[in-house]
Amino acid sequence: MGVDPNCIFCKIVAGQIPSFRLFEDVASLAFMDINPANEGHCLVIAKPHHPTLYDMPPDLLAAVSATVLKVAKAVEAALKPDGLNLVQSNGKGAAQSVPHFHVHVLPRRLGDNLKINWEPKPGDRAAIAAVAERIKAKL
Ligand code: AMP
Ligand 1 center–CA 61 separation, angstroms = 19
Mean pLDDT of the chain: 95
The number of angstroms, rounded, from the C-alpha of 68 to the middle of its chain's C-alpha atoms is: 8
CB 24 within 8 A of CB 30: yes
- Which of 6, 32, 34 to mutate to test ligand 1, by most ligand atoms within 8 A of the CB atom? 34
Cβ(112)–Cβ(38) below 8 Å: yes
Q: Report the CATH fold assignment for 8-136.
A: HIT family, subunit A (3.30.428)
Distance 98 CA to ligand 1 centre (A): 6
Residues enclosing ligand 1, CB less than 6 A? 8, 19, 33-35, 43, 89, 95-98
Measured CA to CA in angstroms, residue 12 lies from 2, 64, 106, 131, 139 at distances of 14, 16, 20, 39, 35
9 CA distance to ligand 1 middle (Å): 8
CB count, 10 Å around CB of 137?
Answer: 7
Contact at 8 Å (CB) between 54 and 44?
Answer: no
pTM of this structure:
0.95
Give the tens place of pLDDT for each residue, 67-113.
999 999 999 999 999 999 999 999 999 999 999 999 999 999 999 99
Query: Which listed residue (41, 50, 100, 102) is catalytic?
Result: 102
Is residue 1 scored above 90 in pLDDT?
no
How many helices and strands (H and E) does the chain possess?
3, 5
Rounded CA separation 81/39 (Å): 9
Closest ligand 1 atom, residue 41 Cα: 10
- Torsion angle of C-alpha atoms 106, 107, 110, 116, degrees rounded to 10: 0
